[in-house]
Amino acid sequence: MLEKEISKRRTFAIISHPDAGKTTLTEKLLLFGGAIQTAGAVKSNKIKKTATSDFMEIERQRGISVATSVMSFEYLNTLINILDTPGHKDFAEDTFRTLTAVDSVILVIDCVKGVESQTEKLMEVCRMRDTPVIVFVNKMDRDGKDPFDLLDELEEKLNIDVRPLTWPINMGSDFKGVYNLVKKDLNLFAANKTSIQDEYVAIEDLESDALARNVGESDAKQLRDNVELIEGVYETLDEEAYRKAQIAPVFFGSALNNFGIQELLETFIQIAPKPQFRVTEERKVLPEEKKLSGFIFKIHANLDPNHRDRIAFFRICSGIFERNKFYYHTRLGKKLRFANPYTFLAQDKKVVEQSYPGDVVGLYDTGSFKIGDSLTEGEELNFIGIPSFSPEIFQELVNLDPMKSKQLEKGIEQLTDEGVAQLFRIEPGNRKIIGTVGELQFEVIQYRLTNEYGASCRFERKAFHKACWLTGDESKIKEFVKFKNNIARDKDGTLVFLAETPFTLQMAIQNNPEIIYNTTKEFRPNKQQA
Protein backbone atom coordinates (compact mmCIF):
# COMPACT_ATOMS: atom_id res chain seq x y z
CA MET A 1 0.00 0.00 0.00
CA LEU A 2 2.69 2.50 1.08
CA GLU A 3 5.04 1.63 -1.79
CA LYS A 4 2.18 1.91 -4.29
CA GLU A 5 1.32 5.41 -3.02
CA ILE A 6 4.99 6.47 -3.15
CA SER A 7 5.43 5.21 -6.73
CA LYS A 8 2.48 7.27 -8.01
CA ARG A 9 3.80 10.56 -6.58
CA ARG A 10 5.96 13.22 -8.20
CA THR A 11 6.99 16.30 -6.19
CA PHE A 12 8.78 19.05 -8.08
CA ALA A 13 9.44 22.79 -8.19
CA ILE A 14 9.11 25.12 -11.13
CA ILE A 15 11.98 27.62 -11.20
CA SER A 16 12.96 30.45 -13.54
CA HIS A 17 14.18 34.00 -13.90
CA PRO A 18 11.38 36.55 -13.33
CA ASP A 19 8.99 36.94 -16.29
CA ALA A 20 10.05 33.73 -18.02
CA GLY A 21 6.49 32.39 -17.65
CA LYS A 22 6.88 30.11 -14.66
CA THR A 23 3.58 30.94 -12.98
CA THR A 24 1.74 30.71 -16.31
CA LEU A 25 3.18 27.24 -16.86
CA THR A 26 2.11 26.22 -13.35
CA GLU A 27 -1.42 27.29 -14.11
CA LYS A 28 -1.58 25.43 -17.42
CA LEU A 29 -0.38 22.25 -15.69
CA LEU A 30 -3.27 22.68 -13.24
CA LEU A 31 -5.64 22.97 -16.21
CA PHE A 32 -4.42 19.61 -17.47
CA GLY A 33 -5.10 18.06 -14.11
CA GLY A 34 -8.60 19.52 -14.02
CA ALA A 35 -7.62 21.31 -10.83
CA ILE A 36 -8.85 24.62 -12.23
CA GLN A 37 -11.31 25.34 -15.01
CA THR A 38 -10.28 28.83 -16.09
CA ALA A 39 -6.76 30.02 -16.74
CA GLY A 40 -6.08 33.17 -14.76
CA ALA A 41 -9.07 32.84 -12.45
CA VAL A 42 -8.56 33.09 -8.73
CA LYS A 43 -11.28 31.17 -6.92
CA SER A 44 -12.85 33.83 -4.76
CA ASN A 45 -16.01 35.85 -4.64
CA LYS A 46 -14.48 38.29 -7.08
CA ILE A 47 -12.91 36.43 -9.99
CA LYS A 48 -9.80 38.37 -10.90
CA LYS A 49 -7.58 37.80 -13.90
CA THR A 50 -4.48 36.95 -11.94
CA ALA A 51 -2.50 33.76 -11.71
CA THR A 52 -3.91 31.05 -9.47
CA SER A 53 -0.70 30.57 -7.55
CA ASP A 54 -0.14 34.30 -6.84
CA PHE A 55 -2.53 34.60 -3.94
CA MET A 56 -1.05 37.38 -1.80
CA GLU A 57 -2.46 40.83 -2.51
CA ILE A 58 0.97 42.38 -3.04
CA GLU A 59 1.77 39.64 -5.58
CA ARG A 60 -1.35 40.55 -7.54
CA GLN A 61 -0.46 44.24 -7.45
CA ARG A 62 3.15 43.76 -8.53
CA GLY A 63 2.59 40.80 -10.88
CA ILE A 64 5.32 38.71 -9.25
CA SER A 65 5.40 35.66 -7.02
CA VAL A 66 6.88 36.42 -3.60
CA ALA A 67 5.73 33.34 -1.68
CA THR A 68 6.11 29.69 -2.56
CA SER A 69 2.74 28.18 -3.46
CA VAL A 70 2.01 24.49 -3.06
CA MET A 71 -0.50 22.81 -5.37
CA SER A 72 -1.56 19.22 -6.00
CA PHE A 73 -3.46 17.55 -8.81
CA GLU A 74 -3.87 14.14 -10.44
CA TYR A 75 -3.04 13.34 -14.05
CA LEU A 76 -2.84 9.90 -15.66
CA ASN A 77 -3.14 8.20 -12.25
CA THR A 78 -0.19 10.18 -10.91
CA LEU A 79 -0.44 12.56 -7.96
CA ILE A 80 1.60 15.64 -8.82
CA ASN A 81 2.75 18.09 -6.15
CA ILE A 82 3.94 21.41 -7.65
CA LEU A 83 5.87 23.95 -5.65
CA ASP A 84 5.75 27.24 -7.58
CA THR A 85 8.68 29.31 -6.34
CA PRO A 86 9.37 33.05 -6.32
CA GLY A 87 11.27 33.98 -9.46
CA HIS A 88 12.42 37.33 -8.10
CA LYS A 89 16.06 37.29 -6.97
CA ASP A 90 15.19 39.05 -3.72
CA PHE A 91 13.41 35.87 -2.67
CA ALA A 92 16.12 33.41 -3.72
CA GLU A 93 16.46 32.08 -0.18
CA ASP A 94 12.82 30.99 -0.12
CA THR A 95 13.39 29.19 -3.42
CA PHE A 96 16.56 27.54 -2.09
CA ARG A 97 14.69 26.09 0.89
CA THR A 98 11.84 24.97 -1.34
CA LEU A 99 14.34 22.98 -3.41
CA THR A 100 15.16 20.92 -0.31
CA ALA A 101 11.54 19.68 -0.33
CA VAL A 102 11.33 18.49 -3.97
CA ASP A 103 12.70 15.54 -5.91
CA SER A 104 13.04 17.21 -9.31
CA VAL A 105 12.73 20.56 -11.08
CA ILE A 106 11.26 22.07 -14.24
CA LEU A 107 13.33 25.05 -15.35
CA VAL A 108 11.54 27.62 -17.54
CA ILE A 109 13.65 29.56 -20.05
CA ASP A 110 12.45 32.59 -22.04
CA CYS A 111 13.47 31.93 -25.66
CA VAL A 112 13.93 35.67 -26.22
CA LYS A 113 16.27 36.30 -23.25
CA GLY A 114 17.87 32.86 -22.93
CA VAL A 115 19.76 31.92 -19.77
CA GLU A 116 19.70 34.81 -17.27
CA SER A 117 21.69 35.43 -14.09
CA GLN A 118 19.01 34.19 -11.68
CA THR A 119 18.65 31.00 -13.76
CA GLU A 120 22.35 30.30 -13.29
CA LYS A 121 22.11 30.77 -9.51
CA LEU A 122 19.10 28.46 -9.27
CA MET A 123 20.90 25.79 -11.28
CA GLU A 124 23.89 26.02 -8.92
CA VAL A 125 21.52 25.05 -6.11
CA CYS A 126 20.13 22.15 -8.16
CA ARG A 127 23.65 20.93 -8.91
CA MET A 128 24.61 21.07 -5.23
CA ARG A 129 21.78 18.66 -4.50
CA ASP A 130 21.99 16.65 -7.78
CA THR A 131 18.35 17.54 -8.46
CA PRO A 132 17.13 16.25 -11.86
CA VAL A 133 16.09 19.04 -14.25
CA ILE A 134 13.75 19.22 -17.25
CA VAL A 135 13.96 22.43 -19.33
CA PHE A 136 10.92 24.10 -20.90
CA VAL A 137 11.83 26.78 -23.46
CA ASN A 138 8.88 29.16 -23.35
CA LYS A 139 7.42 31.93 -25.55
CA MET A 140 8.17 30.24 -28.89
CA ASP A 141 5.37 32.36 -30.39
CA ARG A 142 7.79 35.31 -30.06
CA ASP A 143 10.94 35.94 -32.07
CA GLY A 144 13.81 34.72 -29.95
CA LYS A 145 17.20 33.06 -30.08
CA ASP A 146 17.96 30.23 -32.49
CA PRO A 147 17.05 26.90 -30.79
CA PHE A 148 20.52 25.43 -31.39
CA ASP A 149 22.12 28.56 -29.91
CA LEU A 150 19.82 28.20 -26.90
CA LEU A 151 20.90 24.58 -26.39
CA ASP A 152 24.57 25.64 -26.52
CA GLU A 153 23.85 28.41 -24.02
CA LEU A 154 22.09 25.98 -21.67
CA GLU A 155 25.04 23.59 -21.73
CA GLU A 156 27.65 26.31 -21.36
CA LYS A 157 26.04 28.49 -18.69
CA LEU A 158 24.23 25.80 -16.68
CA ASN A 159 27.00 23.22 -16.89
CA ILE A 160 24.68 20.35 -17.84
CA ASP A 161 24.26 18.19 -20.96
CA VAL A 162 20.93 18.64 -22.73
CA ARG A 163 18.78 16.51 -25.04
CA PRO A 164 15.85 18.06 -26.97
CA LEU A 165 12.77 15.81 -26.95
CA THR A 166 10.60 18.16 -29.00
CA TRP A 167 11.74 20.54 -31.73
CA PRO A 168 10.11 23.79 -32.87
CA ILE A 169 9.16 24.59 -36.43
CA ASN A 170 10.10 28.27 -36.69
CA MET A 171 9.24 30.82 -33.99
CA GLY A 172 7.51 34.16 -33.57
CA SER A 173 4.75 34.91 -36.09
CA ASP A 174 5.96 31.94 -38.22
CA PHE A 175 5.78 29.42 -35.36
CA LYS A 176 3.95 26.35 -36.72
CA GLY A 177 4.33 23.83 -33.91
CA VAL A 178 6.64 21.23 -32.42
CA TYR A 179 7.78 17.83 -33.61
CA ASN A 180 8.03 15.13 -30.92
CA LEU A 181 11.36 13.38 -31.46
CA VAL A 182 10.30 10.42 -29.30
CA LYS A 183 6.69 9.81 -30.35
CA LYS A 184 7.33 10.90 -33.95
CA ASP A 185 4.31 13.14 -34.19
CA LEU A 186 3.61 16.75 -35.02
CA ASN A 187 1.68 19.14 -32.77
CA LEU A 188 0.39 22.05 -34.86
CA PHE A 189 0.30 25.45 -33.19
CA ALA A 190 -2.83 27.53 -32.80
CA ALA A 191 -2.79 30.71 -30.73
CA ASN A 192 -5.06 31.22 -27.72
CA LYS A 193 -5.87 27.58 -27.16
CA THR A 194 -8.29 26.97 -24.34
CA SER A 195 -8.74 23.22 -24.71
CA ILE A 196 -6.15 20.77 -23.49
CA GLN A 197 -6.62 18.35 -26.39
CA ASP A 198 -4.12 19.18 -29.09
CA GLU A 199 -4.24 18.05 -32.71
CA TYR A 200 -1.42 15.58 -33.28
CA VAL A 201 -0.36 14.38 -36.71
CA ALA A 202 1.58 11.10 -36.80
CA ILE A 203 4.79 11.57 -38.81
CA GLU A 204 6.67 8.27 -38.48
CA ASP A 205 8.77 9.06 -41.55
CA LEU A 206 10.02 12.62 -41.97
CA GLU A 207 10.35 11.96 -45.71
CA SER A 208 6.59 11.36 -46.03
CA ASP A 209 4.32 13.80 -47.88
CA ALA A 210 2.28 14.28 -44.67
CA LEU A 211 4.98 16.54 -43.20
CA ALA A 212 5.07 18.92 -46.19
CA ARG A 213 1.26 18.97 -46.39
CA ASN A 214 1.10 20.26 -42.79
CA VAL A 215 4.01 22.69 -42.60
CA GLY A 216 5.00 23.41 -46.21
CA GLU A 217 7.91 22.07 -48.25
CA SER A 218 10.50 24.59 -47.06
CA ASP A 219 9.83 24.05 -43.35
CA ALA A 220 9.59 20.27 -43.88
CA LYS A 221 13.10 20.29 -45.37
CA GLN A 222 14.42 22.47 -42.52
CA LEU A 223 12.92 20.11 -39.92
CA ARG A 224 14.50 17.07 -41.62
CA ASP A 225 17.91 18.80 -41.55
CA ASN A 226 17.47 19.85 -37.91
CA VAL A 227 16.41 16.37 -36.75
CA GLU A 228 19.36 14.81 -38.58
CA LEU A 229 21.70 17.24 -36.81
CA ILE A 230 20.07 16.58 -33.41
CA GLU A 231 20.36 12.81 -33.78
CA GLY A 232 24.00 13.19 -34.84
CA VAL A 233 25.09 15.63 -32.12
CA TYR A 234 23.00 14.81 -29.02
CA GLU A 235 22.97 11.45 -27.30
CA THR A 236 19.65 9.68 -26.82
CA LEU A 237 18.14 10.38 -23.43
CA ASP A 238 19.38 8.05 -20.72
CA GLU A 239 16.69 8.17 -18.01
CA GLU A 240 19.13 7.11 -15.31
CA ALA A 241 21.54 9.88 -16.30
CA TYR A 242 18.60 12.34 -16.07
CA ARG A 243 17.75 11.12 -12.55
CA LYS A 244 21.39 11.59 -11.55
CA ALA A 245 21.17 15.19 -12.86
CA GLN A 246 23.72 14.53 -15.60
CA ILE A 247 21.45 15.36 -18.55
CA ALA A 248 18.39 17.59 -18.96
CA PRO A 249 15.59 16.88 -21.46
CA VAL A 250 14.43 20.02 -23.31
CA PHE A 251 10.93 20.89 -24.56
CA PHE A 252 9.74 23.88 -26.58
CA GLY A 253 6.35 25.59 -26.41
CA SER A 254 4.22 28.54 -25.34
CA ALA A 255 2.73 28.37 -21.85
CA LEU A 256 0.48 31.37 -22.47
CA ASN A 257 -1.05 29.58 -25.46
CA ASN A 258 -1.21 26.26 -23.62
CA PHE A 259 1.07 24.75 -26.25
CA GLY A 260 3.77 22.08 -25.93
CA ILE A 261 2.81 21.40 -22.31
CA GLN A 262 1.20 17.99 -22.75
CA GLU A 263 4.46 16.58 -24.14
CA LEU A 264 6.33 18.03 -21.17
CA LEU A 265 3.85 16.73 -18.59
CA GLU A 266 3.58 13.21 -19.96
CA THR A 267 7.36 12.82 -20.21
CA PHE A 268 7.75 14.24 -16.70
CA ILE A 269 5.34 11.63 -15.29
CA GLN A 270 7.21 8.88 -17.08
CA ILE A 271 10.80 9.75 -16.14
CA ALA A 272 10.76 12.04 -13.06
CA PRO A 273 11.85 10.36 -9.83
CA LYS A 274 9.34 9.25 -7.22
CA PRO A 275 9.95 10.55 -3.67
CA GLN A 276 13.62 10.06 -2.73
CA PHE A 277 15.52 9.44 0.51
CA ARG A 278 16.45 12.34 2.78
CA VAL A 279 19.50 12.79 5.01
CA THR A 280 19.36 13.57 8.73
CA GLU A 281 22.14 14.20 11.24
CA GLU A 282 21.51 10.71 12.55
CA ARG A 283 20.99 8.60 9.39
CA LYS A 284 19.51 8.31 5.90
CA VAL A 285 15.66 8.16 5.86
CA LEU A 286 14.01 6.03 3.15
CA PRO A 287 10.45 6.87 2.01
CA GLU A 288 9.35 3.23 2.32
CA GLU A 289 9.95 3.17 6.08
CA LYS A 290 6.73 2.47 8.00
CA LYS A 291 7.13 5.24 10.59
CA LEU A 292 6.39 8.84 9.74
CA SER A 293 9.11 11.46 9.47
CA GLY A 294 9.39 14.81 7.74
CA PHE A 295 10.46 18.43 8.10
CA ILE A 296 9.12 21.98 7.95
CA PHE A 297 10.62 23.90 5.02
CA LYS A 298 8.35 26.96 4.98
CA ILE A 299 6.01 28.85 7.29
CA HIS A 300 3.41 31.28 6.03
CA ALA A 301 1.44 33.61 8.28
CA ASN A 302 -2.04 34.75 7.27
CA LEU A 303 -2.42 32.51 4.23
CA ASP A 304 -6.05 33.52 4.53
CA PRO A 305 -6.16 37.22 5.56
CA ASN A 306 -9.70 36.74 6.88
CA HIS A 307 -8.42 34.31 9.50
CA ARG A 308 -5.24 34.94 11.47
CA ASP A 309 -3.81 31.55 10.68
CA ARG A 310 -0.22 30.41 10.36
CA ILE A 311 0.53 27.43 8.15
CA ALA A 312 3.70 25.34 8.40
CA PHE A 313 4.52 23.47 5.17
CA PHE A 314 5.55 19.91 6.06
CA ARG A 315 7.32 17.64 3.56
CA ILE A 316 6.63 13.97 4.36
CA CYS A 317 9.81 11.92 3.99
CA SER A 318 8.69 8.49 5.23
CA GLY A 319 5.64 6.63 6.52
CA ILE A 320 2.01 7.79 6.50
CA PHE A 321 0.84 11.07 7.99
CA GLU A 322 -2.57 10.67 9.67
CA ARG A 323 -4.98 13.31 10.85
CA ASN A 324 -5.44 13.54 14.66
CA LYS A 325 -2.50 11.23 15.39
CA PHE A 326 0.17 12.39 17.87
CA TYR A 327 3.64 13.04 16.44
CA TYR A 328 6.90 13.86 18.19
CA HIS A 329 8.33 17.36 17.68
CA THR A 330 12.07 16.68 18.03
CA ARG A 331 13.20 20.23 18.92
CA LEU A 332 10.51 20.83 21.55
CA GLY A 333 10.63 17.25 22.80
CA LYS A 334 6.85 17.02 22.97
CA LYS A 335 3.96 15.44 21.09
CA LEU A 336 1.56 17.37 18.86
CA ARG A 337 -1.49 16.35 16.88
CA PHE A 338 -3.19 18.06 13.96
CA ALA A 339 -6.97 18.13 13.62
CA ASN A 340 -7.03 19.89 10.24
CA PRO A 341 -4.00 19.06 8.06
CA TYR A 342 -4.40 20.58 4.59
CA THR A 343 -3.42 20.01 1.02
CA PHE A 344 -3.47 23.01 -1.28
CA LEU A 345 -4.64 24.37 -4.56
CA ALA A 346 -3.07 27.80 -4.24
CA GLN A 347 -5.13 29.53 -1.55
CA ASP A 348 -7.83 26.83 -1.52
CA LYS A 349 -7.30 24.26 1.22
CA LYS A 350 -8.73 20.76 1.69
CA VAL A 351 -8.53 18.75 4.91
CA VAL A 352 -6.84 15.37 4.37
CA GLU A 353 -7.09 12.17 6.41
CA GLN A 354 -3.84 10.61 5.19
CA SER A 355 -0.80 11.77 3.25
CA TYR A 356 2.26 9.94 1.96
CA PRO A 357 5.99 10.50 1.26
CA GLY A 358 6.43 13.25 -1.31
CA ASP A 359 3.29 15.06 -0.21
CA VAL A 360 3.40 18.55 1.26
CA VAL A 361 0.89 19.06 4.05
CA GLY A 362 -0.13 22.37 5.61
CA LEU A 363 -0.20 22.20 9.40
CA TYR A 364 -2.10 24.82 11.37
CA ASP A 365 0.51 26.33 13.67
CA THR A 366 0.12 28.37 16.84
CA GLY A 367 3.84 29.14 17.03
CA SER A 368 5.30 25.68 17.70
CA PHE A 369 7.28 25.46 14.45
CA LYS A 370 10.45 26.94 13.06
CA ILE A 371 11.92 26.23 9.63
CA GLY A 372 13.92 22.99 9.78
CA ASP A 373 11.84 21.38 12.56
CA SER A 374 11.22 17.63 12.35
CA LEU A 375 8.20 15.50 13.20
CA THR A 376 8.61 11.75 13.82
CA GLU A 377 6.90 8.89 15.66
CA GLY A 378 9.36 9.18 18.53
CA GLU A 379 12.79 8.87 16.92
CA GLU A 380 15.27 11.74 17.28
CA LEU A 381 15.79 12.82 13.67
CA ASN A 382 17.08 16.20 12.49
CA PHE A 383 16.93 16.75 8.73
CA ILE A 384 19.87 18.66 7.31
CA GLY A 385 20.46 20.88 4.31
CA ILE A 386 18.03 23.75 5.01
CA PRO A 387 20.37 26.74 5.26
CA SER A 388 20.13 30.43 6.03
CA PHE A 389 22.60 32.90 4.53
CA SER A 390 24.01 36.18 5.73
CA PRO A 391 21.68 38.92 4.47
CA GLU A 392 22.96 41.50 2.00
CA ILE A 393 20.83 44.45 3.17
CA PHE A 394 20.21 45.47 6.78
CA GLN A 395 17.60 47.94 8.01
CA GLU A 396 16.38 48.84 11.47
CA LEU A 397 12.65 48.51 12.15
CA VAL A 398 11.28 51.72 13.70
CA ASN A 399 7.87 51.71 15.40
CA LEU A 400 5.77 54.74 14.38
CA ASP A 401 2.85 54.01 16.70
CA PRO A 402 3.74 53.01 20.31
CA MET A 403 0.06 52.08 20.86
CA LYS A 404 0.52 49.28 18.31
CA SER A 405 3.78 47.87 19.73
CA LYS A 406 2.25 44.44 20.43
CA GLN A 407 0.93 44.16 16.88
CA LEU A 408 4.32 45.14 15.47
CA GLU A 409 6.15 42.64 17.70
CA LYS A 410 3.78 39.81 16.76
CA GLY A 411 3.85 40.73 13.07
CA ILE A 412 7.63 40.88 12.70
CA GLU A 413 8.03 37.64 14.69
CA GLN A 414 5.59 35.79 12.44
CA LEU A 415 6.79 37.24 9.14
CA THR A 416 10.46 36.50 9.89
CA ASP A 417 9.43 32.96 10.92
CA GLU A 418 8.55 32.49 7.25
CA GLY A 419 12.26 32.74 6.42
CA VAL A 420 11.97 35.50 3.81
CA ALA A 421 13.82 37.91 6.10
CA GLN A 422 15.93 37.50 9.23
CA LEU A 423 15.45 39.24 12.56
CA PHE A 424 18.41 40.24 14.73
CA ARG A 425 17.95 41.90 18.15
CA ILE A 426 20.63 44.22 19.51
CA GLU A 427 20.65 44.81 23.28
CA PRO A 428 20.29 47.07 25.12
CA GLY A 429 17.16 48.67 23.76
CA ASN A 430 15.73 45.65 21.89
CA ARG A 431 16.67 47.25 18.56
CA LYS A 432 15.29 45.14 15.72
CA ILE A 433 17.53 44.77 12.68
CA ILE A 434 15.91 43.11 9.65
CA GLY A 435 18.24 41.46 7.16
CA THR A 436 17.20 40.48 3.61
CA VAL A 437 18.68 39.40 0.30
CA GLY A 438 16.97 42.22 -1.62
CA GLU A 439 15.11 45.53 -1.34
CA LEU A 440 11.73 44.15 -2.37
CA GLN A 441 11.38 42.16 0.84
CA PHE A 442 11.23 45.37 2.90
CA GLU A 443 8.36 46.57 0.75
CA VAL A 444 6.57 43.26 1.24
CA ILE A 445 7.20 43.24 5.02
CA GLN A 446 6.02 46.83 5.47
CA TYR A 447 2.91 46.19 3.36
CA ARG A 448 2.02 43.06 5.32
CA LEU A 449 2.72 44.63 8.73
CA THR A 450 0.34 47.47 7.84
CA ASN A 451 -2.39 45.43 6.13
CA GLU A 452 -2.33 42.19 8.11
CA TYR A 453 -1.31 43.39 11.59
CA GLY A 454 -2.35 47.05 11.66
CA ALA A 455 1.20 48.09 12.69
CA SER A 456 2.78 51.34 11.56
CA CYS A 457 6.54 51.36 10.95
CA ARG A 458 9.40 52.49 8.77
CA PHE A 459 12.88 51.15 7.98
CA GLU A 460 16.23 52.89 8.46
CA ARG A 461 19.19 51.62 6.43
CA LYS A 462 22.12 50.29 8.49
CA ALA A 463 25.66 50.04 7.15
CA PHE A 464 26.42 46.39 7.92
CA HIS A 465 28.50 44.23 5.60
CA LYS A 466 27.81 40.71 6.89
CA ALA A 467 26.00 38.81 9.62
CA CYS A 468 28.34 36.21 11.13
CA TRP A 469 27.12 33.46 13.44
CA LEU A 470 29.76 32.89 16.12
CA THR A 471 31.00 29.39 16.95
CA GLY A 472 34.22 28.02 18.42
CA ASP A 473 35.89 28.59 21.79
CA GLU A 474 33.09 29.70 24.14
CA SER A 475 35.32 31.66 26.53
CA LYS A 476 36.84 33.59 23.61
CA ILE A 477 33.35 34.31 22.24
CA LYS A 478 32.28 35.67 25.65
CA GLU A 479 35.34 37.92 25.73
CA PHE A 480 34.78 39.08 22.14
CA VAL A 481 31.11 39.90 22.80
CA LYS A 482 31.97 41.93 25.92
CA PHE A 483 34.09 44.46 24.03
CA LYS A 484 32.31 44.60 20.65
CA ASN A 485 29.49 46.77 19.37
CA ASN A 486 26.91 45.36 16.96
CA ILE A 487 26.49 42.03 18.72
CA ALA A 488 23.00 40.67 18.19
CA ARG A 489 21.02 37.50 18.70
CA ASP A 490 18.98 35.81 15.99
CA LYS A 491 15.56 34.26 16.55
CA ASP A 492 17.08 31.12 18.06
CA GLY A 493 19.14 33.17 20.51
CA THR A 494 22.37 32.42 18.64
CA LEU A 495 25.04 35.14 18.88
CA VAL A 496 25.62 37.09 15.68
CA PHE A 497 28.33 39.64 14.91
CA LEU A 498 27.08 42.32 12.50
CA ALA A 499 30.33 43.38 10.81
CA GLU A 500 30.20 46.93 9.46
CA THR A 501 32.83 46.54 6.71
CA PRO A 502 34.95 43.81 5.10
CA PHE A 503 37.94 45.32 6.96
CA THR A 504 36.15 45.09 10.35
CA LEU A 505 35.42 41.42 9.69
CA GLN A 506 38.96 40.70 8.52
CA MET A 507 40.44 42.29 11.67
CA ALA A 508 38.05 40.34 13.91
CA ILE A 509 39.12 37.08 12.21
CA GLN A 510 42.83 37.93 12.54
CA ASN A 511 42.59 38.98 16.20
CA ASN A 512 40.38 36.05 17.27
CA PRO A 513 41.57 32.89 15.48
CA GLU A 514 39.73 30.66 18.00
CA ILE A 515 36.35 32.04 16.85
CA ILE A 516 34.64 30.90 13.63
CA TYR A 517 32.68 33.64 11.84
CA ASN A 518 30.02 31.70 9.91
CA THR A 519 28.18 33.48 7.08
CA THR A 520 25.69 30.63 6.68
CA LYS A 521 23.63 28.83 9.28
CA GLU A 522 21.50 25.74 8.86
CA PHE A 523 17.92 25.94 10.05
CA ARG A 524 18.64 23.49 12.83
CA PRO A 525 17.12 25.16 15.89
CA ASN A 526 18.73 24.20 19.18
CA LYS A 527 16.95 21.78 21.47
CA GLN A 528 14.62 23.70 23.75
CA GLN A 529 16.26 24.28 27.11
CA ALA A 530 14.42 22.86 30.10
- Please provide the average confidence, as pLDDT, over all residues in the chain: 86
pLDDT (0 to 100) of residue 44: 34
Sign of the four-CA dihedral 465, 471, 474, 476: negative
Single-letter code of the amino acid located at 475:
S
The 3 state secondary structure assigned to 10-28 is EEEEEEECCCCCHHHHHHH
Is the model's pLDDT at 371 over the cut of 90? no
For 260-272, what is each residue's pLDDT tens digit? 998 999 999 999 9
- What are the pLDDT digits (tens) for 312-370? 899 999 999 999 999 999 999 999 999 999 887 645 678 999 999 999 999 988 888 88
pLDDT in tens, 193-223: 555 555 788 888 899 888 999 999 999 999 9
Structure confidence at residue 528 (pLDDT): 37
Q: What are phi and psi of 4, to 5 degrees?
A: -65, -45
pLDDT of residue 84: 75
Q: Kindly list the structural domains of the chain, giving each domain's residue range(s) and its CATH number in brackets, ordered by start.
A: 12-271 (3.40.50.300), 278-376 (3.40.50.300), 387-522 (3.30.70.3280)
**Top-confidence residue, 181 or 46:** 181
Q: What's the burial of 527, exposed, middle or buried (CB within 10 Å: 0-12/13-18/19+)?
A: exposed
pLDDT (tens digit per residue) in 488-498? 999 888 899 99
* Cβ proximity of 404 and 456 under 8 Å: yes
Collapse the DSSP code of 79 into the 3-class scheme (helix H, G, I; strand E, B; otherwise coil) and give the result. Answer: strand
pLDDT at 25 over 80: yes
What separation in angstroms does the CA of 310 have from each of 350, 365, 398, 482?
16, 5, 24, 38
| pLDDT at position 349 | 72
Kindly state the average pLDDT of the residues 449-458: 91
Residues with Cβ < 8 Å from 194, sequence gap 6 or more? 39, 258
Q: Which pLDDT band holds residue 89 (cuts at 50, 70, 90)?
A: low
